[in-house]
Amino acid sequence: MLEAKNRKSAPRSRQSLLYTIRTLALGTVGGYVGYCLGIPLGWLLGAMTVTVGLAMKGVRVTSSKRPRVVMIAVIGLMVGSAFKPEVLHHAQEWWMSLAAVAIYTFITAAFGIYVCRRLGKLEPATAALSGMPGGLSEMTVMASAFGADVRSVSMVHATRLVLLIATVPISLTASGAIEALGSGTVDRSVHWTISLSLQDALVLLGCMVIGLVVGPRLRLPAANLTGPLILSAAAHLSGLTEAAVPGIVLAAAQVVIGASIGQSFAGVERRVLANGVLLGLALTAFSLALAVGFALLFEFWLDIPFAIALLALVPGGLPEMSLIAISLDADPAFVGLHHLCRVMIIVISAPMILPVWLRLSKAESGGS
């Protein structure tokens, strides 16, 4: 009987592998076009555009989770490499901006929950998890745990993620905000060779593997990213290595992350798709406008450049926003830490807030 099960699962595994290869190949083509056009984050935006478009046309663009897990870990290594010793001198000044991120997160969550419940007519649990500015993966996991509509939750967050990734880096680059950092001359060309010493390669690989094993066991928020990030930061701060992840690996990470976003749009009912896109648009417009206001205050009161402040605030995914900061050379350590703060606030507070919210919603509906 076990042999029969193995025979049945083998074709499925092969089919899943073929879908993964096809999805990543399509994403690579789209990413290369974006790169050739000179678009900021061209590899990511190109891959995302192709796979989202095909998914909405009904083409299957699913892929295995393993490439995304590996590339999220790679992003963790990249962000960790930005934690050089001089960063520690500025870290003590970040408490005010981290406190502002907490305020921004609660305002955005309150608005999002209200809009999803009143305007979107979503069920209480679905509205709460759709409106909170957490990461796509974290919110969909919570949706399953709290009996919310996973499709609706993922649709709203995927729409917001796509819109923010598509608009923020291009807008910052076109407006000259990135150039004002002195990083407008950052080399976005891909160097097709990997120039790492064996020692540096082993240190980075060790940080990634150990981080992927230990991070989930310690139940760290966004563990596949934060585990390697913490170890990479420790290795760079201690002087064990000064190496950065090669550009070709950064391009591969962009393709995998971009291509994986398309899966959220596959096989979604038109009603759920339309409602999710409309809610995603509303939440994105509000969160982006609020982030611009906060970023202006950061620049005026805290002397933090507008571009870096905006990237640290807009509620895209932690891996995606970290990747944007790395690609634009916009202080990835600052941006990554602030997004980690936002994710931690949501992950810690959501399980405590949701039961209270559900009881109040039930009492309200019972009273009416």
| Structure confidence by residue, pLDDT tens digits, 167-212 | 999 999 889 898 878 644 444 555 556 678 889 999 999 999 999 9
Across 214-229, average pLDDT: 90
Q: What is the mean pLDDT of residues 295-316?
A: 95
- Which of 18-32, 144-158, 174-188, 331-345 has the weakest average pLDDT? 174-188
pLDDT digits (tens, 9 = 90+) for 59-75: 888 878 889 899 999 99
Res 30 pLDDT > 90: yes
**Residue ranges of the domains in the chain?**
61-367
User: pLDDT tier at 263 (50, 70, 90 boundaries)?
Assistant: confident
This prediction has a pTM of 0.86
Return all residues near 29 (Cβ < 8 A) that are at least 6 apart. 46, 50
pLDDT value for 160:
93
3-class secondary-structure state, position 297: helix
**Mean pLDDT of the residues in the chain:** 87
**What confidence score (pLDDT) does residue 186 get?**
46
Q: Phi and psi (nearest 5°) for 288?
A: -70, -45
Taking the mean position of all CA atoms in its chain, how far away is CA 155? 15
Q: Can you tell me the distance from the alpha carbon of 358 to that of 9, in angstroms, rounded to the nearest whole number?
A: 40
Return the residue matching tokens 């701060």: 237
Residue 219's pLDDT band (cuts 50, 70, 90): confident
First to last CA, the chain: 55
Q: Which residues contact 94 (CB under 8 A, 6 or more apart)?
A: 334, 337, 338
pLDDT value of residue 148: 92
Residues 174 and 295 sit within 8 Å (Cβ to Cβ): no
3 state SS of 87: helix
